[in-house]
Chain A
Amino acid sequence: MKQKVLIVDDEPRNQRIIIESLEDMAELKTASSGEEAWAIMQTWIPDLVLLDIMMPGIDGYQLCKQIKSDKRIEFTKVILVSGKAMIDERLKGYEVGADDYMTKPFVPEELVAKTKVFLRLTEAEKSLGEINLSLEKKVEERTKTLTETQAKLAAAAKMSALGEMAGGIAHEINTPLATIGLLISQMEELITDDPIDKDLISEHLTTIGETVKRISTIITGLRFFSRDGSHDNFSQVALTEVVKNTLVLCQEKLKHSNIQLTVEPIAESLQVDCRSVQISQVLVNLVGNSCDAIQNRPEKWIRIAAKVQGDQVEISVTDSGEGIPESVREKMFQPFYTTKEVGKGTGLGLSISKGILESHKGSLCVNRESKNTQFVIRLPLKRESSQAKAG
């Protein structure tokens, strides 16, 4: 496709000279005034404007300024044409954004050469612009994918934590179920006895009732944890509830590994404004890590405590390990960093936990002062009102 050149000159003779020189290399249009030129450019965007300065009405400087400030025609090049060759005239031309300056009368070869250079430039700039645009689009798309992937990873990490617990949870549910099953078949036999031992049956029924309650506690914890809480609203919850619901899930893994878990009493009245499912995820992550880390130690315990510190609550998860080596501490909050053996961890737990707490305007860090390994969660007790609106 031919490139477009607009010739703006109030002198028909000048227009003709230019047309004769350029008609083979571009599609040409002419205008005799600034107003006419501007009107043409509303529908026909030229690549180059050869613009006479001295015209009645809108003069060349003014039109040039107008062109250069219009985003729609940002690639259009402007060469000012004038009989004057004074340096201050030229400078004024550059000031209004002109790309070049030519004096009349011109040498046709120079006009052709200059036009060629500028048309080439416009074309290059245009294609550069397109590349930029598509790059921007790509970056935008990638950013979107990345954000989605991060969200998926966070969900996957949670599911992986759940998966690691699944065997234990299944055991924890199947055993009481087996108890119920046995008791029921025993009662079926017992009711055929004569006389029927009512006390024994009543005892069986009590055990069944208690066992059912135990199963439902586990299911509650599971339902609480497996929900995607990332879009939940913040709400005021009793910290002790969150801790209780969380730990029922870890209990079996701890019991199986012979780890003593102590939760120091947390006041019922201690409430935090949070997405409780996410805080639960952080706790499962920390307790799970502790569990893996102290598995083979002679002394195995985990202690959870919470205290109010100013306008924050500090939840500490301490285990019988002897702290984290400097080399690990530096990298452990980075995604995909793991010290666990292949297949054991995603390497995402701590980085996701940190992200969750940051989204709560809180923090997660290691207490280096502690003799034992201690992670400290800090959460604001109340969010500021501006955050409340945003959340």
Chain B
Amino acid sequence: MQKTPEETNILLVDDEPDFRKALEFSFKRAGYKTFLAGSGNEAFDFICANKNIDVVVSDIRMANGDGVQLLERLRERFSETPVVLLITGFSELTTEEAYEKGAEALFAKPIDQDGLKETIKRLLTPPEMRWGERTDLSATQLKVSIQFGGPSGVDGQIVSIGRGGMFVGIDHPPYPNVNEKVSFQFELADHQSIEGDGVVKWARTGATTHLPAGCGIEFSYLPEEQRKQVMQYIEANRPKAFIPIK
């Protein structure tokens, strides 16, 4: 099921030739097949013409179709191609919005090369395998335990599920920290109890006019039976968001 780097086609999108070249070198050396585009529009046309692109790594700020537009157009057409956005820390797009729009991961420039490679490897792993390994947690200490409706840890309520994670509404402190590893337990609509692990990708520690307080969690581990339940749920609902914003 898992493609080898040699079987993987990566499209690298950035308007800066030197950066594009350096990124290309890095992935080529790791064995990937790389393709380059200098703008969002060019990338979109390329993907339409070559449907075998497995993952897109794109800058956000570009003339002729920026990275956000590219992501939106892709999600309208092929909801499945993973997109990793590269931001500069000053972009108009917030982390929550990026995941809501369907981006699988975000990296800030200057980028952590190993982290990016690691993420791409993970994104190219189908969910049933990706969520099957509990390696993430053995390496680090578990800090927060989210028991939805439970008596201890962070107390929250699951509100929605995306393709790769979920939004948890939390009305009052404590809020988990970003990048914190958490274990969770919740019930799907049919009272099926789901337990698993995840990583907090963002936390909104106060409600805004349109959005409730809470946090976005990416799934990292689900036990086999429950994994199937969650995947069936995703299959049935086909959410656009990777992690919903609310």
Contact = CB atoms under 8 A, between A and B. Distances in A.
Nearest to B64: A258
B194 interface: no
A174 B88 contact: yes
Given A175-B109, A258-B64, A182 B19 contact: yes
Contacts of B66: 256
A166 interface: yes
Q: DSSP majority for the B interface? A: loop
Interface stretch (A41-49, A183-191, A279-287): A183-191
A170 B108 CA distance: 11
| Most chain B beta-carbon contacts within 10 A, residue among A175, A177, A252, A257 | A175
Nearest to B16: A175
Contacts, number: 76
A181 interface: yes
B90 A181 contact: no
B29 A178 contact: no
Given A178-B109, A178-B110, A181-B113, A167 B91 contact: yes
Given A174-B110, A189-B29, A182 B92 contact: no
Interface in B13-48: 14-16, 18-19, 21-23, 25-26, 29
Nearest to B112: A181
A178 B111 contact: yes
- Which 6 A-B residue pairings sit nearest by Cβ, starting from the closest? A178-B110, A182-B22, A167-B90, A178-B109, A170-B90, A181-B110
A174 B15 CA distance: 13
B206 interface: no
A181 B111 CA distance: 7
A186 to B, nearest CB: 6
A179 interface: yes
Contacts of A182: 19, 22-23, 25-26, 110-111, 113
B89 interface: yes
| Most chain A beta-carbon contacts within 10 A, residue among B29, B66, B110, B111 | B110
B178 interface: no
B15 to A, nearest CB: 8
B61 interface: yes
27 contacts: A170-B89, A170-B90, A171-B91, A171-B109, A175-B14, A175-B16, A175-B109, A176-B16, A176-B19, A177-B110, A178-B22, A178-B86, A178-B110, A179-B16, A179-B19, A180-B110, A182-B19, A182-B22, A182-B25, A182-B110, A185-B26, A186-B25, A186-B29, A189-B29, A211-B18, A257-B63, A258-B63
B64 A186 contact: no
Interface of B: 14-16, 18-19, 21-23, 25-26, 29, 59, 61-64, 66, 86, 88-92, 108-111, 113-114
A127 to B, nearest CB: 55
A146 to B, nearest CB: 35
B158 to A, nearest CB: 34
Interface of A: 166-168, 170-171, 174-183, 185-186, 189, 207, 210-211, 252, 255-258
B48 to A, nearest CB: 22
Contacts of B63: 255-258
Contacts of A258: 63-64
Nearest to B92: A167
A168 B89 CA distance: 11
Contacts of B15: 255
Contacts of A176: 16, 18-19
Contacts of B16: 175-176, 179
B22 A177 contact: no
A4 B91 CA distance: 77
B18 A207 contact: yes
A179 B22 contact: yes
B110 to A, nearest CB: 4
A176 B25 CA distance: 16
A256 B66 CA distance: 9
Nearest to B59: A175
A250 B206 CA distance: 36
A180 B110 CA distance: 8
A171 B63 CA distance: 13
Contacts of A177: 109-110
B211 to A, nearest CB: 20
Contacts of A185: 26, 113-114
B97 to A, nearest CB: 15
Given A166-B90, A171-B90, A186-B29, A256 B19 contact: no
A256 B60 CA distance: 10
B90 A186 contact: no
| Most chain B beta-carbon contacts within 10 A, residue among A166, A252, A256, A257 | A256
A377 B179 CA distance: 52
Contacts of A210: 18
A169 B86 CA distance: 16
